[in-house]
Chain A
Amino acid sequence: MIPVLILVTIVSFFLLKLLPGDPAAMVLGDKASDAAIAAFRHQLGLDQPLLAQYLLYVQHLATGNLGTSIIYRTPVMELMGPRAEVTGFLVVYSMVLGILIAVPLAFAAALHRDGWPDQLVRVVTTIPLVSPTFWIGLLLLLVFSVKLHWLPATGFGESFADHLVHLFLPALTLSLSFAALLARNLRAAILDALGRTFVDFARAKGLPRRVILYRHVLRAALVSIVTIVGLQLSFAIGGAVVTETVFALPGLGTWMEQSIFARDYQVVQSLTFIFAAGTIVINLLTDLTYSVLDPRVTVD
């Protein structure tokens, strides 16, 4: 984990070097005086050798200094808190919705293997996998906000209950492709579990069908849920960037988009790093969860 994190800092460091031209001039614009640009270059440390610049960058990161937003004239770290809350809420909410959608679908498909519920689930789960997430968001917005007026179109809300209402459509948007993948994998995992001897044993004990399915089969299939959650969280974070802009949510994704167009490159660089670091932590947590769920797995 640590070596990868160090390499990630190299990638995010060099992002700023990809700018065609002098970052200081790009940030300050055409009207800036040469003296202002020189002062800004010094402030960014751009007048130092590359290695020194990189070491300074890592030193800053290690002390929680993610640079300063040119637009807000405020440290990125300070601006990030409330926005990270929105994005975190959105991503976790979408995962929960995705599981709530996928589990019944997977059971319906697995228990009626090759029957019409199975076919229907197969068709329905294809759609979110082949269409753009933001397009699904626009459709949901059109139907549930514009036409039916059931749900708010934008914003985050004030209280927790408010968040749940305001983020329902964005979270649903983000959850669908995850739910589709999860339903397919879970279906296979359930079918696999149903064929195992522990299910025969549970039946022989005379356990009710419900208990067998939800206590034993689902538990065995849990590992596949964790796998898909772990794999998809990285995708969901990417998807959140686009979904947030559709619903004008004040999260990290919208901020990243705004910063790109405002040429607030420090923020874009920091956010890219934060997204990667978050993904690394999530992957580690996934591995840890495995070892809890399945004692045969060890984390090295």
Chain B
Amino acid sequence: MAVAEAVASSPAPRRRRLQPSLAAGLVMLAVLVVVAVAAGRIAPYPPLAQSFSQALLPPSAQHLLGTDNYGRDVFSRVLAATRIDLEIGLLGTLFPFLLGSALGAIAGYAGGLADALIMRVVDVIIAFPFLVLVIAFVAFVGGGTANVVVALTIGGWVGFARLVRGEILVQRQMEYADATRLLGYSRSRILFRHLLPNAIPPALVFAVSSITLNILTAAALGFLGLGVSPPTPEWGLMMSEGETFLFQAWWIATMPGLACLFAGLTFTLLGDGASDLLRVRGQ
């Protein structure tokens, strides 16, 4: 009986009032999702439509955020870029999360040679500055959304692996873990059905906040000209195109940055909120 109780004793989440920062994050996320899905319908102009008579116009009622050197509407392009930047940010977090959590769990649970091998690879990846590794990978393999996501995965999984490995080491010492062993469960069942669900929440919180980092990294790659190719609207690329016209038309470079800030703030607020929820759960 005690064994079964211990197994079933994974703490249930308690309900509490929604934190203001989490609420703000959720509203901002809703805005981002709507824009990402429906940019084509919201945007006043097609993002690729050029009009040289309308070039370098400052923000006005006609063009909310002004126009760029090709006469393209900056507001429409910022909206259209939301989908691609969000896509890279989300996929560039999802894959590192999955890969890192799996490898971290195996390292923590199996120990021995598997642990030593995995953690050695982690040490090597961590030795490279994240941005340098991502830039170098894309430089050799080539740009584009898929390669950027692969680069973010190669550089990003290590954080999750470390986190989950540490959690698994803690969880396997717990009473319920002993209980699962006494019940004669298989190793994979113990790891994936019992230990991992309890070890994963901190990694989830970390994942939400790293979406911000990945969006910023994607923008940096775009800015360096290593992300998607023009004329695709992407925030980083737009800022790099606007840099040339910083003296005449400050809005081209600054407006996509504001969008980036908005997206970054969204996932930071959500990450903070998620970590608060987790802390409540942990008590």
Q: A interface vs B, CB < 8 Å?
A: 3-5, 7-8, 10-11, 15-16, 18-20, 126-127, 129-135, 138-139, 141-142, 146, 234-235, 237-239, 241-242, 245-246, 256-257, 260-261, 265, 268-269, 271-272, 275-276, 279-280, 283
Contacts and interface: CB of A to CB of B under 8 A. Distances in A.
Contacts, number: 134
B261 interface: yes
Given A141-B246, A245-B224, A276-B128, A4 B123 contact: yes
B223 interface: yes
B261 A131 contact: yes
A265 B264 contact: no
A141 B120 CA distance: 42
B124 A139 contact: no
Interface in B241-271: 242-243, 246-247, 250, 253-254, 257, 260-261, 264-265, 268
Contacts of A265: 140
Interface stretch (B6-14, B56-64, B68-76, B129-137): B129-137
Interface in B131-176: 131-133, 135-137, 139-142
Interface in B261-283: 261, 264-265, 268
Contacts of B141: 18, 20
B99 to A, nearest CB: 17
Contact of A132 (B128, B135, B142, B219): B219
Given A18-B137, A131-B264, A280-B127, A241 B253 contact: no
Contacts of B219: 132, 135
Nearest to B216: A132
A7 B254 CA distance: 41
A133 to B, nearest CB: 7
B239 A242 contact: no
Contacts of A142: 246, 250, 254
Contacts of A139: 254, 257
A238 B132 contact: yes
7 contacts: A132-B220, A138-B239, A235-B130, A238-B131, A241-B135, A268-B136, A275-B128
Contacts of A146: 246-247, 250
What are the 5 closest A-B residue pairs judged by CB atoms, nearest first? Answer: A238-B131, A130-B264, A135-B257, A238-B129, A18-B140
Contacts of A141: 246
A7 B137 CA distance: 16
Contacts of B133: 272
Contact of A127 (B131, B212, B216, B261): B261
A273 B179 CA distance: 48
Contacts of B224: 241-242, 245, 257, 260
B226 interface: yes
Contacts of A241: 131-132, 135, 224
B201 interface: no
A22 B268 CA distance: 43
